[in-house]
């Protein structure tokens, strides 16, 4: 058994440099590769998360701007429609005023024509009245000589 322990002792002593080299390699791997790699992965995750958050913020800002744009667009359309309605009301008022003026002018012309007709009618009646006596005289003269010539 002593011999087995002795052989094991030799193996352990021979394994010490390999074990030390293995431990040094593991530590070197940890400090030279795994540490920077872990830090790079953390930074990458942070940047990715930051980029996603930045993208969400950009999307939210874009949606807010779109909503603001649509609000301004609706407001501008409302102003355009309001201006259009005001112009239509103004045109209607101008049209109504022009129609009223035309009606008044036509009424005035009708009244003037009526008064002219009445004046002409009165003048014609006076003329007829004035000529009635003369015509009666002429009729009597024309009828009397014929009646006087036939009764003689």
pLDDT class of 146 with cuts at 50, 70, 90: low
Phi–psi pair at 121, nearest 5 degrees: -65, -45
pLDDT class of 152 with cuts at 50, 70, 90: very low
Give the integer Cα–Cα distance in Å for 89 and 73: 24
> Tens digits of per-residue pLDDT, 103-133?
999 999 999 999 999 999 999 988 888 888 8
On the 0-12 / 13-18 / 19+ scale of CB atoms within 10 A, 111 is exposed
> Tens digits of per-residue pLDDT, 62-99?
999 999 999 999 999 999 999 999 999 999 999 999 99
* pLDDT over 70 at 18, yes or no: yes
Residue 146: left (phi > 0), alpha (psi -120 to 50), or beta? Answer: alpha
Q: What is the largest CA-CA distance in the chain?
A: 208
* pLDDT over 80 at 42, yes or no: yes
Give the integer Cα–Cα distance in Å for 91 and 76: 22
pTM of this prediction exceeds 0.95: no
């Amino acid at each position: 058994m002593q011999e087995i322990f002795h052989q094991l002792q030799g193996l352990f002593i021979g394994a010490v440099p390999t074990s030390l080299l293995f431990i040094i390699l593991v530590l070197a791997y940890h400090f030279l590769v795994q540490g920077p790699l872990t830090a790079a992965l953390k930074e990458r995750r942070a940047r990715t998360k930051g980029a996603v958050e930045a993208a969400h913020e950009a999307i939210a800002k874009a949606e807010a701007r779109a909503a603001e744009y649509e609000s301004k667009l609706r407001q501008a359309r409302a102003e355009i429609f309001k201006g259009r309605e005001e112009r239509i009301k103004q045109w209607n008022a101008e049209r109504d005023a022009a129609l009223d003026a035309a009606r008044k002018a036509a009424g005035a012309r009708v009244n003037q024509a009526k008064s002219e007709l009445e004046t002409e009618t009165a003048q014609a009646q006076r003329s007829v009245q004035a000529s009635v006596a003369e015509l009666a005289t002429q009729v009597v003269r024309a009828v009397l000589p014929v009646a006087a010539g036939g009764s003689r």
